[in-house]
Amino acid sequence: MGERAGQVDMARIDEPYEAMPSSPRASETGHATPVLGPCFFLEVTAGSNAGVNVAIDDGSAPMFAGTSATCELRVADAAVARRHLRFEVSNGRLRLCELGSASGTFVNDVRAAEALLEGGETIRIGETSIAVRHAICELASRGPAASFGAFVGTSVTIRRLYPACAKLAASRAPLIIEGEPGTGKESLAKAIHHAGERAFGPFVVVDCTALPPTQLALALFGRDSRGTEETAAVEGAFEQARGGTLFIDEVGELDLGLQARLLQGLQRSEIRRIGSNAWRTVDVRIIVSTRRDLDTEVSESRFLDGLFTVLAGARLSLPPLRERSEDIELLARHFWAIHTRWRAQPFPENLLGRWKAYGWPGNVRELSSTLARLATFGEISAKEAREVFARRSTPPEAHDTLDELIAASESFADARARIIAEFERRYIGFLDAHHVGERARVSASGLSDRYLRVLRGRARDAVRRSPVC
Ligand SMILES: Nc1ncnc2c1ncn2[C@@H]1O[C@H](COP(=O)(O)OP(=O)(O)OP(=O)(O)O)[C@@H](O)[C@H]1O
């Protein structure tokens, strides 16, 4: 998939989608015959929501209990956290995980942060009691799908997402995709966009960590002409994405002022360009991603509750690659085919064992670049790998670095992301080496201290050892 420049080069717009030949839609790959399996019912038996009940089975996405409107089991209880508990069915048992709350969670009156339940237990959170019942029933989904559009993954956790993705593709509901960097949030957003009726519209990306706050407003909302060439009218991403999807990457980095403006736009389906009082109707589907825990951001007043509620029409969470090693081989073969341009180049089977054991801190992005390097340079020794790829403390000639980064990238967007990441890492290194104290660095760089912290976090993420050999 390529990219074309919009009027605002701060937002990215993808070309119309070309489906991959081996990419069935999840909705096309499910079993026709019902599959029976373990299923759990959770029923509130005491508290102000007594009588409410929900079901969860082995084919369901994880389910949440708490006071937030986005929880499947929602309770009105002052002693319960917004997202208090997470449930999922694993190996025939119901796994419960407390997500952090002062009041705690009690299973059969014993405090528990994590528990594997079999049915028959009573969970207490705050003043609310929940009975757990076990049954055998028809499972929601047991499809053998290996991908959802171009989004590849066959592990149980990923396949569980596909039915929800198919439903989300058919709707206009806003969506939050959560996950560590490189887990595939943008790829999944794109796959959902391409599987729905907006597929023929644009997919526009605004990365909230790639721009200083002042430019983000311009990138999102555009600007009216102020009469000079330098201040010509600019169409923002909201307008560029008309009829399609606007993907806001790292929405948690938006400052509160922009969050309020975004909320207003979403509630009214109208936006105002910077410097204009005229409202313009917008027709976009919004998907946002975040590596931050937005529940925590809301409870610590860094993210607007109202915006969170509007965005969290649905939430999907992508686990890190280290928690779904079943996906590594499939993804590795997928990237190998792409990076070798489908040439009949033998897949490096001998490295699979090492890859499965490796922790992949950079997640799927790191796996993809590892395969790209191997496809370009072949297998190399650890020493060579360090010399070629880990030349990160001594800046090599600029064109060498760019060539390497480009060669290791799958697409223009990927290449640009890598180059920006490398630039940011070096810029932070330079700033830290030449200016003592955060105030001096803020003043020298012209960046806000908040944005500097974002860049520093990204720079830390970028310094990782390559498992190419
Ligand atoms: N499941 C997947 N199937 C195919 N490609 C994937 C998948 N997950 C990630 N990728 C590839 O890995 C790279 C990083 O993915 P992506 O940009 O979607 O991650 P992200 O979570 O949005 O990252 P960030 O948080 O840094 O923005 C891209 O090249 C993408 O094509």
Q: DSSP 3-state assignment of 315? A: strand
CATH topology of domain 36-138: Tumour Suppressor Smad4 (2.60.200)
CA gap 416, 186 in Å, rounded:
15
Ligand 1 midpoint to CA 365 (Å): 6
Residue 189 CA, closest ligand 1 atom number: 18
Q: What is the pLDDT of residues 162-200, one digit of tens each?
A: 989 999 998 999 999 999 999 999 999 999 998 888 888
Q: Which residues line ligand 1 (CB under 6 A)?
A: 151-153, 179, 181-187, 249, 289, 291, 364-365, 368, 410, 414
Question: Is-same-fold flag (36-138; 147-226+233-317)?
Answer: no
Which residues in 128-244 belong to E strands, given as ranges?
Answer: 128-138, 147-148, 151-152, 175-179, 203-207
Residue 67: CB partners within 8 Å, gap ≥ 6? 74, 75, 76, 77, 80, 81, 82, 84
Ligand 1 midpoint to CA 50 (Å): 42
Q: What is the pLDDT of residues 77-119, one digit of tens each?
A: 999 998 899 998 877 788 999 987 889 999 999 999 999 998 8
pLDDT over 90 (residue 403): no
Ligand 1 midpoint to CA 366 (Å): 9
Ligand 1 midpoint to CA 168 (Å): 19
- What is residue 338's predicted lDDT score, i.e. its pLDDT? 82
Residue 151 CA, closest ligand 1 atom number: 3
pLDDT over 50 (residue 243): yes
Ligand 1 midpoint to CA 185 (Å): 6
Output the pTM of the full model.
0.63
Bridge-based pairing state of the strands 270-272 and 53-57:
unpaired
Ligand 1 midpoint to CA 368 (Å): 9
Alpha carbon distance, N-terminus to C-terminus of the chain: 29
Residues 1-20, mean pLDDT to the nearest whole number: 42
Higher pLDDT: 292 or 404? It is 292
> For a pocket test of ligand 1, which of 365, 373, 419, 420 has the largest count of ligand atoms closer than 8 A to its C-beta?
365
Name the band, by pLDDT with cuts 50, 70 and 90, for residue 202: very high
- What is residue 383's predicted lDDT score, i.e. its pLDDT? 52
Higher pLDDT: 342 or 135? It is 135
In whole angstroms, how far apart are CA 15 and each of 3, 271, 334?
Answer: 6, 25, 21
CA gap 187, 148 in Å, rounded:
10
Residue 409 CA, closest ligand 1 atom number: 29
Ligand 1 midpoint to CA 189 (Å): 10
Q: What is the pLDDT of residues 359-394, one digit of tens each?
A: 898 899 999 988 888 887 765 554 554 444 444 333
In whole angstroms, how far apart are CA 414 and each of 84, 115, 183, 268, 308?
Answer: 36, 40, 14, 34, 29
> For a pocket test of ligand 1, which of 186, 203, 317 has the largest count of ligand atoms closer than 8 A to its C-beta?
186
CA gap 56, 140 in Å, rounded:
9
Q: DSSP 3-state assignment of 152? A: strand
Residue 4 CB-density burial (10 A; 0-12 exposed, 13-18 middle, 19+ buried) = exposed
Ligand 1 midpoint to CA 317 (Å): 13
In whole angstroms, how far apart are CA 416 and each of 384, 406, 457?
Answer: 25, 8, 19
Higher pLDDT: 40 or 382? It is 40
Q: What is the pLDDT of residues 244-261, one digit of tens each?
A: 999 999 999 999 999 999
Higher pLDDT: 130 or 378? It is 130
What percent of the chain has a predicted confidence (pLDDT) above 70? 78
Asked whether 165 and 171 are in contact (CB, 8 A), the reply is no
**What are the structure tokens assigned to 411, written together?**
């697409």
For helices 449-462 and 438-445, the axis angle rounded to 10 degrees is 100
Q: What is the pLDDT of residues 324-334, one digit of tens each?
A: 999 999 999 88
Residue 207 CA, closest ligand 1 atom number: 27
Name the band, by pLDDT with cuts 50, 70 and 90, for residue 305: very high
* Residue pointed to by tokens 């089977």: 349
Ligand 1 midpoint to CA 188 (Å): 8
Domain ranges of the chain: 36-138, 147-226+233-317, 322-390, 401-464
Q: What is the pLDDT of residues 426-452, one digit of tens each?
A: 888 777 766 767 777 777 787 777 788
Report the nearest-CA residue for atom 10 of ligand 1. Answer: 184
- What is residue 242's predicted lDDT score, i.e. its pLDDT? 94
Across all residues in the chain, what is the average pLDDT?
Answer: 80
Ligand 1 midpoint to CA 426 (Å): 23
> For a pocket test of ligand 1, which of 360, 364, 464 has the largest count of ligand atoms closer than 8 A to its C-beta?
364
Name the band, by pLDDT with cuts 50, 70 and 90, for residue 10: low
CATH 1.10.8.60 fits 322-390, yes or no: yes
Report the nearest-CA residue for atom 24 of ligand 1. Answer: 181
Asked whether 121 and 133 are in contact (CB, 8 A), the reply is no
Task: Write the class of the CATH domain 147-226+233-317.
Answer: alpha beta
